[in-house]
Amino acid sequence: MQTYQFDNFPNHQRNSEIERLTTNVDSHSKTLVDLLLTNGLYGSNEVLDVGCGTGAMLQLLASLLEKTKFHGVDNSTKILETAKNTIGQTNEKIQLTHGDACNLPYPDNTFDFVFTRLVLMHNSNPEQVIDEMVRVCKPGGTICAIEIDDGTQLFHPHGEELNKIVQAHIQFSKLHGTDRTMGRKLYSLFSKHSHTEETMVIIQTSDYSKDFIQNNELPTLLKFALGNDDGRRLVEANLLTEEDRSELVSTFIPRFLASPHRFESCSFMYAFGKKVAT
């Protein structure tokens, strides 16, 4: 089961989500590329992106590795249409396929490098996704999962107050099959798998500077936590009091955004493992 269903979004939400997904890749592309290249991607002939979305990652990597063939799979027909329009129908280096991450439409031992980004957190059975990634990876090849962990979100000022809504959102997501603390679980998921070895997790946080703050914009994870109803669903689920929600929306968040000295941070977790050579 997946809780993130792009095809079910209304049209206006699809457009904003496409923009967010593309910007999200652009915002930390250098770190992404460096970590992937130095941990198995460089020298790979066949690469698979599980949950490729708009294809932004595929385009970025394909522009750097001329001799590598890239494949992307996603369960959303709508987002694959966007990817195909962006990438181009005749790009022989990138092949896009509709399919389920829990039942990948590829034979065993097909790819040298298999990665997924911000997919496991939306799947109620991340172990099965990893099983499939390992299955389609060649012996000796690399699997990689990139996830965030909302529990690493930090704010200042009013960090304690803002953390209330983050924690409520983590619990709300858990009730609906989403795990917004997936990042901390990657090492366990990889290391306990019977067909992986050499598990490694790299934690990456973006460098923080004045340029990071743009137009008093609400941090992305606070946007998710507040949702379209300013967090009222969290109150209805008894995860946040109405008094706390109202004070957050009317007082603490505006004060946070108004501070020229504010700080916010969240970590990305990169897990790498090798498929056991048999």
Q: Average pLDDT, whole number, for the chain?
A: 87
| 95 SS3 class | strand
pLDDT score at 4:
41
* Between residues 2 and 191, the one the model is more confident about: 191
pLDDT score at 248:
96
Overall average pLDDT of the 67-77 stretch: 94
pLDDT at 232 over 80: yes
Q: For the chain, what is the domain count?
A: 1
Give the global pTM. 0.85
In a domain, 126, yes or no: yes
Nearest by Cα to 263 from 149, 181, 165, 153: 153
The DSSP output letter for 219 is P
pLDDT score at 217:
80
Overall average pLDDT of the 98-119 stretch: 97
pLDDT at 7 over 70: no
Do residues 104 and 136 lie in contact, with contact meaning Cβ atoms separated by under 8 Å? yes
pLDDT score at 106:
98
In a domain, 228, yes or no: no
Any idea what the CATH number is for the domain that residue 45 is in? 3.40.50.150
| 45 SS3 class | coil
Cα-flanking dihedrals φ and ψ of residue 140, to 5°? 85, -10
In a domain, 250, yes or no: no
Cis bond before residue 157 (omega within 30° of 0): yes
pLDDT score at 213:
66
HSE, side-chain direction, 13 A CA sphere, residue 132: 21
Q: 76-105 burial by CB neighbour count: b if 16+ within 10 A, else e?
A: bebbbebbeeebeeebebbebeebbbbebe
Encoded tokens for 106: 């590829």
In a domain, 102, yes or no: yes
AA identity, residue 195:
H
In a domain, 245, yes or no: no
In a domain, 187, yes or no: yes
pLDDT score at 2:
45
Encoded tokens for 63: 């522009």
In a domain, 67, yes or no: yes
pLDDT at 209 over 70: no
pLDDT at 175 over 60: yes
At 14, the pLDDT band (50, 70, 90 cuts) reads: very low
Q: Residues 78-90: pLDDT tens digits?
A: 989 988 888 876 5
pLDDT at 10 over 60: no
Dihedral-angle region of residue 150 (phi above 0 means left; psi in -120 to 50 means alpha; beta otherwise): alpha
* Between residues 176 and 142, the one the model is more confident about: 142
pLDDT score at 214:
65
Q: Residues 235-271: pLDDT tens digits?
A: 999 999 999 999 999 999 999 999 988 998 889 999 9
Domain range spanning residue 63?
A: 6-150+178-211+266-275
Overall average pLDDT of the 54-71 stretch: 91
To the nearest whole percent, how much of the chain has pLDDT over 70?
85
At 92, the pLDDT band (50, 70, 90 cuts) reads: confident
Spatial separation of the C-alpha atoms in residues 111 and 192, rounded to whole Å: 22
- Which residues, at least 6 apart from 271, have a Cβ–Cβ distance to it below 8 Å? 144, 145, 146, 147, 186, 187, 189, 190, 199, 200, 201
In a domain, 235, yes or no: no
pLDDT score at 28:
58
At 18, the pLDDT band (50, 70, 90 cuts) reads: very low
- Expressed in angstroms, the distance from the first to the final Cα of the chain is 31
* Between residues 12 and 161, the one the model is more confident about: 161
- Which residues, at least 6 apart from 43, have a Cβ–Cβ distance to it below 8 Å? 112
